[in-house]
Chains A and B, each alone.
Chain A
Amino acid sequence: MSEFEKILSTVFSVGTLQQMLRSATPVALAAIGGSMTEHAGIMNIGMDGMILMGAFFGVLGSFLGQSALAGLGLALLIGVLVGLFFALLVVRYKSDEFIIGCALNTFALGLTSYLSRSVFGNNGTKGNPALPALHLPFLSKIPILGPMLNDQSLFVYLTWIVVLLAWLFVYKTPYGLWLRASGEKPDTLRTAGISPKRMQWIASLLCGILCALAGAHLSLGQLSGTFAENMSNSRGYIAFACVIFAAAHPGKAYLAALMFGFFEAIGLRLQSYVSADLTNTIPYLITIIMMVYVVARKQQRKKKLARA
Chain B
Amino acid sequence: MKNNEAVIRFEHVSMQFPGVLANDDVSLEIRRGEVFALIGENGAGKSTLMNILYGIQTPSSGEVWIKGKRVEQYDPRIVIEQGVGMVHQHFMLVPSFTVAQNIVLSREPRKHKIFFDNAAAEAAARKLEAEYGLTVPETEAVEDISVGLQQRVEILKALYRGAEILILDEPTAVLTPQETEELFSVIRRVVRDKGMTVIIITHKLDEVMAISDRVGVMRKGRLVGIHETKDVDAAKLASLMVGRPVIFDELIRSGEPGATALRVEHLQVSDHRGLPAVRDLSLELRAGEILGIAAIEGNGQSELIEAITGMIPVRSGRVTVLGREVTGLEPGEIRAAGLAHVPEDRLATGISGLATVADNLLIGRQREPRFNRFGIQQNRKAIRDYAQEVYQRYDIRGAGVDSLAGDMSGGNMQKVVIAREFSFDTPVLVISQPTRGVDVGAIEFIHSRIMEKRNQGAAILLSSADLDEVFRLSDRIITLFEGEITGTFRAGEISKEDVGLYMTGSKRQGGQEA
A binding-site residues for B, Cβ under 8 Å:
168, 172-174, 176-178, 180-181, 184-185, 187-194, 302-303, 305-306
Instruction: Give complex CA distance A174, B114 in Å.
Output: 7
Contacts A172-B116, A193-B77 hold; do A177 and B275 have CB atoms under 8 A apart? Answer: no
Contacts A191-B76, A192-B80 hold; do A178 and B106 have CB atoms under 8 A apart? Answer: yes
CB <8 Å contact, A181 and B97: yes
Query: Per-residue CB proximity of B18-41 to A under 8 Å, as 1/0?
Result: 000000000000000000000000
Which residues in B have their C-beta under 8 angstroms from that of A168?
A: 115
CB <8 Å contact, A177 and B270: no
Contacts A192-B76, A193-B77, A306-B275 hold; do A173 and B92 have CB atoms under 8 A apart? Answer: no
Picked from A177, A178, A305, the residue with its CB within 8 Å of the CB of B274 is A305
Which B residues, 78 to 110, have Cβ-Cβ distances below 8 Å to chain A?
A: 78, 80, 86, 88, 90, 92-97, 101-102, 105-106, 108, 110
Q: How far is the CB of B66 from chain A (nearest CB, A)?
A: 15
Instruction: Determine whether B54 belongs to the interface, using a CB cutoff of 8 Å to chain A.
Output: yes
CB <8 Å contact, B86 and A191: yes
CB <8 Å contact, B275 and A191: no
Q: How far is the CB of B264 from chain A (nearest CB, A)?
A: 22
Extra 7 A-B pairs, beta carbons < 8 Å, given A181-B94, A184-B95, A303-B274: A177-B116, A181-B97, A190-B56, A191-B88, A193-B80, A193-B106, A305-B275
Contacts A173-B115, A184-B94, A305-B144 hold; do A194 and B274 have CB atoms under 8 A apart? Answer: no
Picked from B90, B93, B108, the residue with its CB within 8 Å of the CB of A177 is B108
Q: How far is the CB of B58 from chain A (nearest CB, A)?
A: 14
Picked from A177, A193, A305, the residue with its CB within 8 Å of the CB of B97 is A177
Which residues in A have their C-beta under 8 angstroms from that of B381?
A: none
Which residues in A have their C-beta under 8 angstroms from that of B275?
A: 305-306
Instruction: Determine whether B273 belongs to the interface, using a CB cutoff of 8 Å to chain A.
Output: yes
Which residues in B have their C-beta under 8 angstroms from that of A189?
A: 105-106
CB <8 Å contact, A191 and B144: no
CB <8 Å contact, B80 and A306: no
Instruction: Determine whether B265 belongs to the interface, using a CB cutoff of 8 Å to chain A.
Output: no
Instruction: Give complex CA distance A190, B273 in Å.
Output: 26
Instruction: Determine whether B75 belongs to the interface, using a CB cutoff of 8 Å to chain A.
Output: yes
CB <8 Å contact, A302 and B105: no
Which residues in B have their C-beta under 8 angstroms from that of A181?
A: 94, 97, 105
4 closest cross-chain pairs (CB), A and B: A193-B77, A306-B274, A192-B106, A174-B108
Which residues in A have their C-beta under 8 angstroms from that of B101?
A: 177
Which B residues, 129 to 163, have Cβ-Cβ distances below 8 Å to chain A?
A: 144
Which residues in B have their C-beta under 8 angstroms from that of A185?
A: 92-95
Q: Which residue on chain A has the smallest CB distance to residue B51?
A: A191
Which residues in A have their C-beta under 8 angstroms from that of B94?
A: 180-181, 184-185, 188
Which residues in A have their C-beta under 8 angstroms from that of B92?
A: 185, 187-188, 191-192
Instruction: Give complex CA distance A130, B95 in Å.
Output: 47
Instruction: Give complex CA distance A115, B95 in Å.
Output: 47
Q: Which residue on chain A has the smallest CB distance to residue B118?
A: A172
Q: How far is the CB of B71 from chain A (nearest CB, A)?
A: 14
Q: How far is the CB of A143 from chain B (nearest CB, A)?
A: 37
Q: How far is the CB of B96 from chain A (nearest CB, A)?
A: 6
Q: How far is the CB of B329 from chain A (nearest CB, A)?
A: 23
CB <8 Å contact, A188 and B108: no
B binding-site residues for A, Cβ under 8 Å:
54, 56, 75-78, 80, 86, 88, 90, 92-97, 101-102, 105-106, 108, 110, 114-116, 144, 270, 273-276
Q: How far is the CB of A8 from chain B (nearest CB, A)?
A: 41
Q: Which residue on chain A has the smallest CB distance to residue B111?
A: A172
Q: How far is the CB of A182 from chain B (nearest CB, A)?
A: 10
Which residues in A have their C-beta under 8 angstroms from that of B96?
A: 180, 184
Picked from A172, A176, A306, the residue with its CB within 8 Å of the CB of B270 is A306
Which residues in B have their C-beta under 8 angstroms from that of A188?
A: 92-94, 102, 105
Which residues in B have their C-beta under 8 angstroms from that of A194?
A: 77, 106
Q: How far is the CB of A181 from chain B (nearest CB, A)?
A: 5
CB <8 Å contact, A192 and B105: yes
A-B contact pairs, 27 of them (CB 8 A): A172-B115, A173-B114, A174-B110, A174-B116, A176-B116, A177-B105, A177-B116, A181-B105, A184-B95, A185-B95, A188-B93, A189-B105, A191-B54, A191-B76, A191-B86, A192-B77, A192-B80, A192-B105, A192-B106, A193-B77, A194-B77, A303-B274, A305-B274, A305-B275, A306-B274, A306-B275, A306-B276
Q: How far is the CB of A302 from chain B (nearest CB, A)?
A: 5
Q: How far is the CB of A255 from chain B (nearest CB, A)?
A: 21
Instruction: Give complex CA distance A178, B101 in Å.
Output: 11
Instruction: Give complex CA distance A192, B93 in Å.
Output: 10
CB <8 Å contact, B273 and A306: yes
Q: How far is the CB of B482 from chain A (nearest CB, A)?
A: 16
Most buried by B among A172, A184, A185: A185
Which residues in A have their C-beta under 8 angstroms from that of B273?
A: 302, 305-306
Q: How far is the CB of B51 from chain A (nearest CB, A)?
A: 10
Q: How far is the CB of B386 from chain A (nearest CB, A)?
A: 36
Instruction: Give complex CA distance A188, B56 in Å.
Output: 12
Instruction: Give complex CA distance A45, B108 in Å.
Output: 32
Q: How far is the CB of B247 from chain A (nearest CB, A)?
A: 42
Instruction: Give complex CA distance A192, B276 in Å.
Output: 34
Which residues in B have their C-beta under 8 angstroms from that of A173?
A: 114-116
Instruction: Give complex CA distance A173, B111 in Å.
Output: 9
Q: How far is the CB of A247 from chain B (nearest CB, A)?
A: 10
Most buried by B among A188, A191, A302, A305: A191
Which residues in A have their C-beta under 8 angstroms from that of B86?
A: 191
Q: How far is the CB of A71 from chain B (nearest CB, A)?
A: 31
Instruction: Give complex CA distance A188, B102 in Å.
Output: 9
CB <8 Å contact, B75 and A193: yes
Instruction: Give complex CA distance A178, B80 in Å.
Output: 17
CB <8 Å contact, B116 and A193: no
Which residues in A have their C-beta under 8 angstroms from that of B105?
A: 177-178, 181, 188-189, 192
Which residues in B have their C-beta under 8 angstroms from that of A187?
A: 90, 92
Which residues in A have their C-beta under 8 angstroms from that of B80?
A: 192-193
Q: How far is the CB of A167 from chain B (nearest CB, A)?
A: 12
Instruction: Give complex CA distance A177, B114 in Å.
Output: 12
Contacts A177-B97, A185-B94 hold; do A191 and B116 have CB atoms under 8 A apart? Answer: no
Which residues in B have their C-beta under 8 angstroms from that of A174?
A: 108, 110, 116
Q: How far is the CB of B54 from chain A (nearest CB, A)?
A: 7
Q: Which residue on chain B has the smallest CB distance to residue A185?
A: B94
